[in-house]
């Protein structure tokens, strides 16, 4: 019961917080140019994310150093919350599934702050996404992509999609692997989960413990090397995370 009340309180605060500042930003943006709105949207996004991490009880342990170069950031995928964690430490444009664009409040913030939406079942949408990634990288921005294309709770990654790695080699962009995982496996957003029940379950705990690792940038003209090396680095780290958590549980 206490966890439900905590989760519900956080959900209400989340809705009120996002609603107030989204409406405020929308009203103010009516007086700005498109360029000014786009620039300020990123500042607004970073402000929202920094507050949310505290509001929701996120306890994040980071390994490695955030990249100082722009490039294609590739990460394993557990939850809709993954990019929020990553964006709190580096200003990038994430690739997200098309359905999120229609979510109330969250969809609006995503649209104004550079999220690249993709319908992974639509070949034309995937191609358009590759072009959007290329454009963003060429402009000196970083892009977060989840090459697994879906979320899951398996101990290591599933097969990586090929397209974004191929795009990175064409424009000679750095590939920056990131591993991320949640202590509680039930925090993953999978199968037939819907947003509100999952939110209550995930953030009904006092803290949500997450580990994340930045790896050094990879440079190569070999797509297979970039894909394979990124996957192996992330898989190894996911196994280490779980071993660390399991060992702590035994000590307790």
233 contacts 215 by C-beta, under 8 angstroms: yes
Phi, psi of 233 (to 5 degrees): -65, -45
pLDDT at 96: 81
Task: Give which of 73, 76, 68 is closest to 237, Cα–Cα.
Answer: 76
Side-chain half-sphere of 166: how many Cα atoms within 13 Å?
8
Task: Give which of 140, 93, 92 is closest to 115, Cα–Cα.
Answer: 93
- Give the tens place of pLDDT for each residue, 79-134: 989 988 888 766 688 888 888 788 777 777 787 777 888 887 788 887 888 888 88
Name the percent of the chain lying above pLDDT 70: 98
pLDDT at 89: 64
CA dist 103 and 111 (Å) reads: 11
Spans of the chain, pLDDT less than 70: 89-91, 252
Task: Give which of 179, 155, 176, 180 is closest to 164, Cα–Cα.
Answer: 176
Give the alpha-carbon dihedral of 242, 245, 247, 249, to 10 degrees: -130
pLDDT at 104: 76
β-bridge partners, 178 = 75, 214
Domain that holds residue 125: 2-251
State the DSSP code for 218: B
Number of domains observed in the structure of the chain: 1
pLDDT at 199: 95
Report the predicted TM-score, pTM, of the whole model to 2 decimal places: 0.90
């Amino acid at each position: 019961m206490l966890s439900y009340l905590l989760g519900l309180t956080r959900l209400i605060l989340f809705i009120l917080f996002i609603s107030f500042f989204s409406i405020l930003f929308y009203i103010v943006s009516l007086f700005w140019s498109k360029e000014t709105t786009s620039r300020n949207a990123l500042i607004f996004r970073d402000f929202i994310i920094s507050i949310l991490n505290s509001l929701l009880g996120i306890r994040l342990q980071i390994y490695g150093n955030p990249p100082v170069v722009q490039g294609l950031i590739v990460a394993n995928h557990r939850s809709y919350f993954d990019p929020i964690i990553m964006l709190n430490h580096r200003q990038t444009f994430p690739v997200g599934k098309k359905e999120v664009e229609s979510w109330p409040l969250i969809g609006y913030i995503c649209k104004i702050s550079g999220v690249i939406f993709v319908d992974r079942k639509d070949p034309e949408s995937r191609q358009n996404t590759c072009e959007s990634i290329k454009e963003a990288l060429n402009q000196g921005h970083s892009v977060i992509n989840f090459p697994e294309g879906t979320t899951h709770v398996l101990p290591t990654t599933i097969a990586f999609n090929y397209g974004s790695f191929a795009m990175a080699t064409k424009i000679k962009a750095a590939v920056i692997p990131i591993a991320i995982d949640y202590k509680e496996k039930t925090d993953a957003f999978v199968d037939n989960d819907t947003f509100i029940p999952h939110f209550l379950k995930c953030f009904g705990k006092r803290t949500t413990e997450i580990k994340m690792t930045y790896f050094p940038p990879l440079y190569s003209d070999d797509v297979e090397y970039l894909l394979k090396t990124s996957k192996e680095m992330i898989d190894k780290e996911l196994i280490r995370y779980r071993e660390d958590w399991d060992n702590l549980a035994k000590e307790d």
